[in-house]
Amino acid sequence: MQGAVKVVLLSHKNPDGDAVGSSLAMGHYLRSVGKDVTVIYPNAFPEFFAWMPGAGDVLFYESDRERAVAAVKDAELVFCLDFNTLSRIGLLGSCVADSSAPKVLVDHHPEPSADFALTISHTEACSTSELVYEAIVALSGTEGVSFEMAQCIYTGMMTDTGSFAYASARKEIYLIIAELLDKGIDKDWIFRKVFYNSSLSRMRLCGYVLYDKLKLYNRYNAALITLTHGELMRFYASKGDTEGLVNQPLQMKGVRFSCFLREEQPGKINVSLRSVDDFPCNAVAAEFFNGGGHKNASGGELYCSMDVAVEQFKKALQKYKSELAD
């Protein structure tokens, strides 16, 4: 692995701040030690990550299939960041499976698959970006962390913890943040770049969701938001405009489980689940929504109408009613 020069870094479909942050940070580090790096995602990230250093060089399999496949075929080493199994990267996954290059996993999701030559998997980490920071420091000391790497790492840690509101009680996180501040990052600027960057159409969409589309299932301490493809079109929703909506119902007294069903294409429903405390929404994702993820943040997908998807949500509530009830 050490002699490899051509390195491909991959992260998951619908890349979030940790997917982008961890892969770009690792990319900057590997370039700094002389590697020829290509970062590839299955599809594009939301516009509010475009400022991140290196974001402009990323290849997207969805829109640049030939170059992405050629880079994977050419790779001497492949890093998989922020996902636990090749099926999470769609069609790109089979291309990676066919490659004879050694694969390294760096991730914080439970149950990593056995696809990898080296697995760095820590579910206690707040983010994959935290693990990338630790890996860089282990290899090159804190001097190995550049300003660009620090910006990317902070973004991943911030977004995967809802700005350090959950999954962020370990003191190591704040020791790392202190180091990142020493590298010169402006944490308030990064916060604004990511979270205070909404369009008017997103604000209107949030208003519509809270006013008209949020349903409370009191007996189950649960809430549901649905948005059909038609509604997304009506509000001119673009990529990232629905980010964070699933967390909103958790602000309500008593709510412990939140589900957001988004019809991203007619007949294809993207599922986001959030929970608090011990309620395992990843078990619900695996059992009812063809997905998985973390205990308190998970997702999946369904190929059906919105009505059928809502029925599936209600079945999940029935099944888990004793765990959800007071």
Residues that bind ligand 5GP (CB under 6 A): 12, 14, 16, 88, 246, 272, 291-294, 297-301
Nearer to ligand 5GP, 136 or 297 (CB): 297
263 binds, among ligand 5GP, Mn ion, none (CB under 5 to 8 A by kind): none
- The H-assigned helical ranges of the chain are 17-32, 65-74, 91-98, 128-140, 147-160, 171-182, 187-195, 200-208, 229-234, 281-288, 306-319, 321-324
Residues that bind Mn ion (CB under 5 A): 18, 82, 127-128, 160
Cβ-closest position to Mn ion: 18
Coil/strand/helix, residue 33:
coil
Say how far apart CA 229 and CA 219 lie, in whole Å: 29
Nearer to ligand 5GP, 28 or 294 (CB): 294
The packing angle between helices 187-195 and 147-160, to 10°, is 50
CB of 136 to ligand 5GP, least distance (A): 22
CB of 294 to ligand 5GP, least distance (A): 5
Nearer to ligand 5GP, 107 or 231 (CB): 107
CB of 231 to Mn ion, least distance (A): 28
Nearer to ligand 5GP, 71 or 284 (CB): 284
**Residue 116: alpha-carbon gap to chain centroid:** 20
C-alpha dist (Å) from residue 142 to 93, 125, 135, 149: 33, 19, 10, 11
Contact yes or no for 281/257 (Cβ under 8 A): yes
Cβ neighbours of residue 233 closer than 8 Å, sequence gap 6 or more: none
107 binds, among ligand 5GP, Mn ion, none (CB under 5 to 8 A by kind): none
Nearer to ligand 5GP, 168 or 272 (CB): 272
Q: Which amino acid is at 160?
A: D
CB of 142 to ligand 5GP, least distance (A): 28
Cβ-closest position to ligand 5GP: 299
CB of 108 to ligand 5GP, least distance (A): 9
